[in-house]
């Protein structure tokens, strides 16, 4: 069974998380510095998330061009934030399929440490397994 019950739940959790990442952790500043926009094409449940330095879009409005596009499952998103899978391993094993300059994304990884620490509290808040 998938971690997220449906697309609505996924948008609620990941929208909340990405707004935290962009505005509280201030990753938005790094996205601006590195000139990166990212689109996540998620399956199981299906959906789109588009991230820029100053906004997070969910749903059909998020289905637009980005510097980097990553296709993955909702379960892979969940495992990534729980540190059960790393980005390089997920890319190598095709759990995440990417298009665009991945070296730019890899430069951002050190700035995500606070998010890895915070994600279990989001799981508790939304009743997701840890």
Let me know if residue 16 belongs to a domain. yes
Give the count of domains, the chain.
Answer: 1
* Per-residue confidence in pLDDT tens, the chain, 130 aa: 799 999 999 999 999 999 999 999 999 999 999 999 999 999 999 999 999 999 999 999 999 999 999 999 999 999 999 999 999 999 999 999 999 998 988 888 899 999 999 999 999 999 999 9
Q: What is the pTM of this model?
A: 0.94
Cα 121 to Cα 130: distance, rounded to the nearest angstrom: 9
Let me know if residue 130 belongs to a domain. no
Strand, helix or coil at 55? strand
CATH number at residue 12: 3.30.1050.10
Domain encompassing residue 47? 7-122
Report the candidate in 54, 48, 51, 23 with the shortest Cα–Cα distance to residue 38: 51
């Amino acid at each position: 069974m998938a971690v997220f019950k449906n697309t609505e739940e996924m948008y609620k959790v990941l929208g909340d998380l990405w707004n935290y990442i962009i505005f509280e952790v201030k990753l938005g500043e790094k996205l601006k510095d590195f000139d990166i926009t990212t689109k996540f094409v998620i399956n199981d449940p299906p959906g789109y998330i588009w991230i820029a330095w100053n906004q997070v879009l969910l749903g059909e409005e998020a289905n637009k061009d980005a510097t980097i596009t990553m296709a993955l499952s909702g379960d892979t998103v969940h495992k990534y934030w729980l540190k059960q899978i790393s980005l390089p391993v997920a890319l190598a094993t095709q759990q995440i399929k990417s298009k665009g300059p991945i070296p730019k994304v890899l430069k951002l990884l050190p700035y995500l440490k606070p998010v890895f620490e915070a994600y279990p509290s989001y799981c508790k808040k939304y009743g997701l397994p840890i």
